[in-house]
Amino acid sequence: QQNIPKEETLDHSAALLREGYLFISNRMKKFQSDLFETRVMGKKVVCITGEEAARVFYNTEFFKRKGAAPYRVQQSLFGVNAIQTKDDAEHLNRKQMFMSVMTSSHEKELADMTKNQWDSVSRRWEQSDEVVLFDEAKEVLCRVACRWAGVLLHNTEVKKRAEDFYAMVDAFGAIGPRHWEGRMARNRTEAWIKDMIKKVRRGTLKVDSHSVIHQMAFYKDAEGNQLDPRMAAIELINVLRPIVAIANYITFSALALHEHPEYTHILHSRNKQYLEYFVHEVRRYYPFGPFLGAIVRKDFVWANYPFKKGQLVFLDIYGTNHDPRIWEEPDRFKPERFRGWDGNLYNFIPQGGGDPASGHRCPGEGITIEVMKATLDFLVNKIEYDVPDQDLSYSLVRMPSMVRSGFVMNHIRRL
Ligand code: HEM
C-alpha cells in the first residue's frame, strides 16, 4: 500500500478544472500507475484507468451508484434521483423499461427520421449564406427526439427547447453561470414534460401506446407503483436530452471529415461498415464524457490497493479511450483501427462499459451510432459544402468540449 501514488497537497479541484479531460491521465503518466489517490471537492477520490479498471468498476459486487453523483450534477445533467443514481433491483427494473424502447427497430426508425430531417433542412441551407452545423443538429435532433417519443413540440418552440436540452448537458463540468443556465433549463423542461405526462395519464393528450412518453407515463416499478409525474418527466428527459446531445458528436464528425479528407472517398462508396468504424473513432478520439463516479460497496483489494466501503472512485473514460496499451497511436484519428475490434465491453467506453441491460452502461449507444451514421452519410453523400475560415479548435479543458465555431458551412449544394 505504501507504493500507492497519493497527491499530497490539500485539494485538487482547481487542477481538475485546469486540466479537464487530461486530469486523470496526466497523473497516471506521472506516477506510472493505473491508480492514484487524490482529493477533489473536499473528498478523497481514488482514480482508476484502463480496461481492467473498467471491468472492476462495473462489477456491482464492489460498486454502487447511490451517493456518487454530486447533487449539482443531478440538478443540471441527470435530474434528481434518476436512473443514474439507482442500484440493484430498482435500477434493473427501470433499466429494463429504457432498454425496451431502444431496440434495433427503434434505432432504425430514429435514423430514418434523422435522414428525412436533414433532407428537409438542407433545402433551406441552399438559400442560406452559411449555417452552423452544431446549431442545426441540435434543432434537427430535438424535432426527431420529440416526434419519436410522442412529445408534442410546436415549430415555434423548437429552438428554445433544443437549447434547453443542450444547456443541461453543457452544465456538467461547470461552476458559475453555465451551471445555473443548466439548472434553469432543467426546471423549464421538467415543468413542460411533467405537464404532458399528466395529460397522457388523464387521457387528455392521446399518444400511441407504444410511444416512449406512454411507456414512461404508465411504467410501474417493482412494487407496482407509477413514478410520480416529476420522476416520469425526469426519465423521459433522460431519453430526449441525450439524443439532442448527439449534435456534439455530429459536429466532431464534420471536423474529422474536414481534417481527414482522405476518408471522404472511402465513405462515398457508402461502405456501411466504414461508416461505423468512422463513427466509433469519432466517439473514441474526441472528448465528451470525461470520467464516471461510483461508491465502493464493500472492502476489497484491486491492483494491490485496499478499497474501503464508502470510498468515491472515478473511472477515467477519456484516458481509457486513449490508453496506449489498448490503442496503437491513440492520439491519431484512424477509423480503420476498428476493423479488427472484437466488441470488447470494457476497452472502448465513450458511453460507459459492461452490459447495458445489467449495469449502468448507456442504453442509447445503438441510437447514437445509427443517428451518427445517418448524418455522416448525409454529409458525405447528399450534400457538398465549403468550410470557410473559422476557429475549428476544441478544448481539452472545458467540459463538455465542443468545436469552438460550431462548424460553419457555406456554398451548400444538394446532390
Ligand atoms: C448513461 C454517454 C447518448 C441514455 C450514459 C453514461 C454515459 C453516456 C457515459 C454513463 C454510463 C455509466 O454510468 O456507467 C452518452 C454519450 C451519448 C449518449 C456520450 C452521445 C451523445 C444517449 C442516448 C440516450 C442515452 C441517445 C437515449 C436515447 C442514457 C441513459 C443513461 C445513460 C438513460 C443512464 C443509464 C443507467 O444509469 O443505467 N450515457 N450517452 N444516452 N445514457 Fe447515454
Degrees to nearest 5, angle at CA 282 with 378 and 69: 120
Q: Quote the pTM value.
A: 0.97
Instruction: Report how far residue 110's alpha carbon sits from residue 27's, in angstroms, rounded to the nearest whole number.
Output: 40
The mean per-residue pLDDT over the stretch 131-142 comes to 98
Residue 2 pLDDT greater than 80, yes or no: no
362 marked as part of a ligand binding site: yes
Residue 104 pLDDT greater than 90, yes or no: yes
- What are the structural domains of the chain? 13-414 (1.10.630.10)
The mean per-residue pLDDT over the stretch 252-275 comes to 92
For residue 95, which atom of ligand 1 is closest to its CA? 38
ipTM above 0.90, yes or no: yes
* 351 ligand 1 Cβ < 6 A: yes
| Grid cell in block for residue 346 | 470494457
Average pLDDT, the chain: 96
Write the CB contacts of 414 (distance below 8 Å, at least 6 apart in sequence): 122, 123, 126, 382, 383
Residue 112 CA from chain centroid, whole number: 21
Instruction: Report how far residue 204's alpha carbon sits from residue 230's, in angstroms, rounded to the nearest whole number.
Output: 18
The mean per-residue pLDDT over the stretch 276-283 comes to 98
Instruction: Quote the ligand 1 centre to 366 CA distance (angstroms).
Output: 11
Model confidence pLDDT, tens digit, residues 156-166 = 999 999 999 99
Instruction: Quote the ligand 1 centre to 31 CA distance (angstroms).
Output: 31
- Considering only residues 14 and 298, tell me which one the structure prediction assigns the higher pLDDT: 298
Instruction: Quote the ligand 1 centre to 317 CA distance (angstroms).
Output: 13
Q: Ligand 1 pocket test: pick from 109, 279, 362 the residue with the most ligand atoms within 8 Å of its Cβ.
A: 362
* Closest CA to ligand 1's atom 1: 362
Residue 272 pLDDT greater than 90, yes or no: no
Q: How confident is the model at residue 175 (pLDDT cuts 50, 70, 90)?
A: confident
Residue 270 pLDDT greater than 80, yes or no: no
Calculate the alpha carbon distances from 297 to 312, 358, 360, 373 in Å: 10, 17, 15, 39
Instruction: Quote the ligand 1 centre to 337 CA distance (angstroms).
Output: 24
Four-point Cα dihedral 372, 98, 151, 200, nearest 10: 170
* 294 ligand 1 Cβ < 6 A: no
- Considering only residues 222 and 376, tell me which one the structure prediction assigns the higher pLDDT: 376
The mean per-residue pLDDT over the stretch 309-336 comes to 97
The answer to whether 292 and 73 have CB atoms below 8 angstroms apart is no
Helical spans, DSSP H, in 101-176: 104-125, 133-149, 158-170
The mean per-residue pLDDT over the stretch 287-302 comes to 98
* 321 ligand 1 Cβ < 6 A: no
The answer to whether 363 and 351 have CB atoms below 8 angstroms apart is no
Q: Which pLDDT score, from 0 to 100, does residue 108 have?
A: 97
Instruction: Report how far residue 66's alpha carbon sits from residue 86's, in angstroms, rounded to the nearest whole number.
Output: 6
Write the CB contacts of 309 (distance below 8 Å, at least 6 apart in sequence): 296, 297, 298, 299
* Closest CA to ligand 1's atom 41: 364
Q: How confident is the model at residue 308 (pLDDT cuts 50, 70, 90)?
A: very high
Look up cell 443540471; give the residue. 76
Instruction: Report how far residue 329's alpha carbon sits from residue 243's, in angstroms, rounded to the nearest whole number.
Output: 30
Residue 320 pLDDT greater than 90, yes or no: yes
Q: Which pLDDT score, from 0 to 100, does residue 7 have?
A: 80
Write the CB contacts of 125 (distance below 8 Å, at least 6 apart in sequence): 131, 136, 383, 409, 412
* Closest CA to ligand 1's atom 13: 360
The mean per-residue pLDDT over the stretch 254-261 comes to 98
* 45 ligand 1 Cβ < 6 A: no
Instruction: Give the three-class secondary structure for 352.
Output: strand
Q: Which pLDDT score, from 0 to 100, does residue 10 have?
A: 75
Sign of CA dihedral 339, 343, 346, 350: positive
Q: Ligand 1 pocket test: pick from 351, 355, 358, 375 the residue with the most ligand atoms within 8 Å of its Cβ.
A: 351
* 288 ligand 1 Cβ < 6 A: yes
For residue 108, which phi and psi values (nearest 5 degrees)?
Answer: -65, -40
* Closest CA to ligand 1's atom 42: 362
